[in-house]
Amino acid sequence: MHIMSSQLNKVKELIAFRERARLGGGITKINSLHEKGKYTARERISLLLDEGSFEEFDMFVKHRCTNFGIDKKQIPGDGVVTGYGTIDGRLVFIYAQDFTVIGGTLSETGAMKICKIMDMAMKMGAPVVGINDSAGARIQEGVNAMAGYAEIFQRNVMASGVIPQISVIFSPSVGGTEFSPALTDFIIMCQEVGGVSHFVVDNEEEGLLQIRELLKYIPQNNLEEAPLALCDDAIDRLEYFLNEIIPDEPNKPYDVLDIIRAIVDDGRFLESQKFYAPNIITCFAHFNGQSVGIIANQPKILAGVLDINASCKAARFIRFCDAFNIPIVTLVDVPGFLPGTSQEYGGIITHGAKLLFAYGEATVPKVTVVLRKAYGGAYCVMSSKHLRGDINYSWPTGEIAVMGPSGAIEILYAKELNGFENQQEKTQFIAEKETEYKDKFANPYDAAKYGYIDDVIEPRNTRFRVIRALQLLATKKVINPAKKHNNIPL
């Protein structure tokens, strides 16, 4: 009986320890968070993961620092909750910073907890989700706190392209806290936080739901395919309005999102960086249940032109898709690269080359549809056949040329145009030459003649043709030359 009593006491002691650890910095600080409309670290994890799936590690870890009296503030867990669970039945590793413990500052031991989780995620081949809510490094620890951050950064780098890394930021990001999310694949932020993010949400609940939605489109790791979604949307569904969506006037805009909604499964897609460089669209969607990444010029914003920000945004998205075996569908309506001194001084050529490099390097299936304009270097860059585009289609409205008719005529007939004294005769001459130029180049058939366009398709049939192309490319095998790593123009 004495042995049994002793064992029961130890069990009760364990239960008490757990209850203490789960309180973090204490009920007063928890209530303070709730009054601000915020959740605790464990509450956030509970909202994100499947019910009852969370298994916590290192609940009893405490920091080892004695500087500036901080040894009197040793709280179990040390400001970070770590462990694993499932989202829609899929394994996910997770850490969440606890702002109730010394302002959520990250200690060396807290960093090691995060590193342990990241190492396990690499072994198991599962995504890592980091919920950031911190005042930065723990100043009292000096170099040890910085060492802890650097250890996390190194793991972010090694995990890049191997397992998906998703960061959520629910408070202003300070000091070293900024760098780890910047090294991950996707960042989700609340609107009041601000900064550069891939997804902006109104509140914490929406942010956590956004993670669950994002994971529907991406695989567990770089050796797997993205999960197939259930699809009862007919692959041969025809969208007749697409036959008339391109305006007769060449400079009149339209919304490319209307085209995306029309061709993807059930009209649903998940747009990344919606408010950044909106002249190009990057989003995930499904075609017959298969996850794809879509890059599309947006004619209603800056005529869909490529500029510095758009090039970087699309290049980053393409490289994620390529790293994680997600096919790329490109919808092209691009008049060229944005001219101007600000773009030139900002390095438009270097940044445009990032997009070119990303497309040229990608080995996943690549399907391209030219909707309207595909001019000059921008035609080359936007997943053309010459950058190993696998299947390249064009609508009948496609215009594939070095430049538009008006600009071309000014160059081709500069001498003749300077010789006109009668303005009416000059105008008539320009009209005739522009018609001649359009007949020759402002259509997809010249490119199709050389095999640079595999087929000119009817717009209403785009969904079916894209799905058939993706089915064809399901067994594609391309290996880039052996190298330590490439040298993308940064």
At 172, give phi and psi (nearest 5°): -55, 135
| Cα–Cα distance measured from residue 323 to residue 214, given in angstroms and rounded to the nearest whole number | 16
- Give which of 333, 330, 306, 329 is closest to 246, Cα–Cα: 333
Catalytic residue among 161, 175, 289, 407: 175
- Our answer to whether residue 207 is catalytic in this structure is no
Q: How many CB atoms lie within 10 A of CB 360?
A: 17
- Our answer to whether residue 194 is catalytic in this structure is no
| Cα–Cα distance measured from residue 423 to residue 432, given in angstroms and rounded to the nearest whole number | 14
- Give which of 271, 277, 268 is closest to 308, Cα–Cα: 277
At 112, give phi and psi (nearest 5°): -65, -30
- Our answer to whether residue 175 is catalytic in this structure is yes
Catalytic residue among 125, 346, 376, 377: 377
Compute the C-alpha angle 231/204/118, nearest 5°: 80
At 131, give phi and psi (nearest 5°): -100, 110
Q: Report yes or no: 433 and 409 within 8 Å, Cβ to Cβ.
A: yes
- Our answer to whether residue 96 is catalytic in this structure is no
**Residue ranges in 160-199 assigned as alpha helix (H):** 179-183
- Looking only at the bridges linking them, the beta strands covering 128-132 and 90-97 are parallel
In which element (H, E) is residue 329 found? strand 328-334
Q: How many CB atoms lie within 10 A of CB 387?
A: 19
Catalytic residue among 303, 362, 378, 401: 378
Q: What residue type is 324 in one-letter code?
A: F
Catalytic residue among 24, 77, 136, 176: 176
- Annotated active-site positions, please? 175-176, 377-378
